[in-house]
Structure 1
Amino acid sequence: MSSLAGRTALVTGGGRGIGRAIALALAADGAAVAVAYRRDEEAARKTVADIEAAGVRGHAFRASVDDLDECRALAAQVEAELGALDILVHSAGIASRGHGVADTDPAELERLLRVHAFGPHHLSQALLPLMRRAERSDMVFVSSVITDTKPPFTAPYTMGKAAMEALAEVLAKEERGNGMHVNVVAPGVVDTDMGRRLVRATTGIEDIRQADASSPFGHVCSPEEVAAVVRFLVSDGASYLTAQRVVIDGGTF
């Protein structure tokens, strides 16, 4: 990958799982990296320590992306403390509870849409003025293959991710003239806490390693494999690439 030295990134949900892997990958390529977290301060601080061990600046900001005021406050903190931002990765996410449409609590639907769609809209809007100052900027949305498969009992999550992808496509068209690249990565099952819960709920398998043998290339996708695609998307190698959706599922679907 090309060097990201001199660039500054913010990764929401960056304390754990896919977000953490992305934060560390960007730091390894030389970017200063801030992570936003909602509750797990210990995990966020551990991620920041690992970022700084790579020899770059690390920061942690507490914010709930489902809250408009907190999104705006986060954007103000980023500008005040970092002074610049040219990479924004929307990785914060939560799972739905697995109910059918007939039994879904309206509050759950609203919560999922706020986290996956409203939050990224609010935060992008608040940070666009800062990101437009950069000669090149990148925004990456972490979605899911669920928007392709649309399985039963997933309506809140599927709707949230589909709305997120629509936002990304619109932003790619609106911001290209400002030097911004906007892309989506859509993983399948990934070896994270959420992925392990999903495997248990859908297959009854307690240890996700038991799913390796039936997975493409002999293993469940790792967070680092998702992060490697994000590294490319924000690199010089993707200088003429925007409005793309990269599926990371080993060719399953």
Structure 2
Amino acid sequence: MREIDLKGRVALVTGGGRGVGRAISIALGEAGAAVAVNFRRDDSAAQETVDTIREAGGTAAAFAATIGDAEATAAMVEAASAAFGAIDIVVNNAGIASRGKSILDTDPTELQRLMAVNAFGPHRLAQLVVPQMRMAGRGDFVFISSVETQMLAPNGAPYGMSKTAMEALAMALAKEEVGYGIHSNVVAPGLVGTEMGKKLVAAALGVDIETLDARAPYGHVCRPQEVADVVLFLVSGLAGYVTGQRITVDGGLTAAHAATPPTL
């Protein structure tokens, strides 16, 4: 059986200190990659993730930056590259959400806020890191999206718009950078049982996460590790012929939704 070995590789995980980002950071670290764990404000969570990787014998450090801030993002990439070498894995996990208004009632400034982090930030990050990947002749981008680009929760269109833009970026990179050995793929989880996920459920559906666990096709909503496992596959040699793909990790949620006739 082939094992996933990322020794000698350098990964940057945005929003890597908690939730799905934490699970991804730890998985990459366990596989041997040096991991730059990005955080925006919760340095204690990021440091806990770093400590977990180091205690297992891995290499990691935390780097502060708001992904929607172009200058801060550039400084983070420079610092991470100085610490570990050229970055050849980028997991765009950082994201923000919005709830409470229909798309026509959403103020343009709110759309701008969402786009800044969920789409413009990953675009700037790609501009900064792709030159390093081209020189190395390899690289992997994974964009953490959402099933909400395919099926919207109540008042979820603003968030869905920003994630759809991010997915378009991922596909553009897959097309434009394939000649340099760069892969770009999207992972779209369903509802994940994280702190952010619980807040979204409460705001959009008015139920707790345990209620949705009972309703989910597999008996539980998506777990962070289940997303991390797919990311690990995509950045490994096992997925060397996979690029420009959108992989849904939702336990059959969208399939069940598509099979249910709409209520008229």
TM bin (shorter chain): over 0.9
Report the equivalent of 1:217. 218
Greater shift in the superposed pair: 101-110 or 18-27: 101-110
Report the equivalent of 1:72. 74
**TM-score (norm: length of structure 1):** 0.96
Q: CA RMSD in A?
A: 1.3
Q: Distance in 1 between matches of 2:99 and 2:73?
A: 25
Aligned partner of residue 136 in structure 2, secondary structure: coil
Aligned partner of residue 216 in structure 1, secondary structure: coil
Aligned pair partner of 2:114 in 109, 112, 120: 112
Report the equivalent of 1:24. 26
Report the equivalent of 1:173. 175
**TM-score (norm: length of structure 2):** 0.92
Q: Which runs of 4+ in 1 moved over 4 A?
A: none
Aligned pair partner of 1:33 in 22, 32, 35: 35
Shift of 1:57: 1.0
Greater shift in the superposed pair: 128-137 or 13-22: 128-137
Aligned partner of residue 104 in structure 1, secondary structure: coil
Q: Distance in 2 between matches of 1:134 and 1:54?
A: 28
Contact 1:9 1:32 in 2 (8 A): yes
Report the equivalent of 2:62. 60
Aligned partner of residue 79 in structure 2, secondary structure: helix
Report the equivalent of 1:229. 230
Q: Match of 1:188, as an amino acid?
A: G
Q: Distance in 1 between matches of 2:185 and 2:69?
A: 24
Q: Distance in 1 between matches of 2:4 and 2:179?
A: 23
Report the equivalent of 2:244. 243
Please give the per-residue CA displacement for 1:89-123, whole angstroms capped at 9, x wherever unaligned: 00001111321123323221101000000000001
Q: Distance in 2 between matches of 1:135 and 1:2?
A: 20
The alpha-carbon distance between structure 1 residues 151 and 220, as it changes in their structure 2 partners (threshold 3 A), is: closer
State percent identity of aligned pairs.
Answer: 56
Report the equivalent of 2:10. 8
Please give the per-residue CA displacement for 1:7-58, whole angstroms capped at 9, x wherever unaligned: 1100000011111110011111111111111110110110110111121111
Contact 2:86 2:132 in 1 (8 A): yes
Contact 1:38 1:62 in 2 (8 A): yes
Q: Match of 1:251, as an amino acid?
A: G
Contact 2:221 2:251 in 1 (8 A): no
Q: Distance in 1 between matches of 2:126 and 2:64?
A: 17
Report the equivalent of 2:196. 194
Q: Distance in 2 between matches of 1:79 and 1:24?
A: 19
Shift of 1:133: 2.6
Contact 2:153 2:204 in 1 (8 A): no
Report the equivalent of 2:99. 97
Q: Match of 2:84, as an amino acid?
A: L
Report the equivalent of 2:45. 43
Shift of 1:78: 2.0
Contact 1:10 1:35 in 2 (8 A): yes
Aligned partner of residue 217 in structure 1, secondary structure: coil
Contact 2:77 2:129 in 1 (8 A): yes
Q: Distance in 2 between matches of 1:77 and 1:199?
A: 36
Q: Distance in 2 between matches of 1:101 and 1:6?
A: 45
Contact 1:113 1:156 in 2 (8 A): no
Q: Distance in 2 between matches of 1:181 and 1:222?
A: 25
Contact 1:79 1:130 in 2 (8 A): no
Q: Distance in 1 between matches of 2:4 and 2:117?
A: 32
Q: Distance in 1 between matches of 2:247 and 2:206?
A: 29
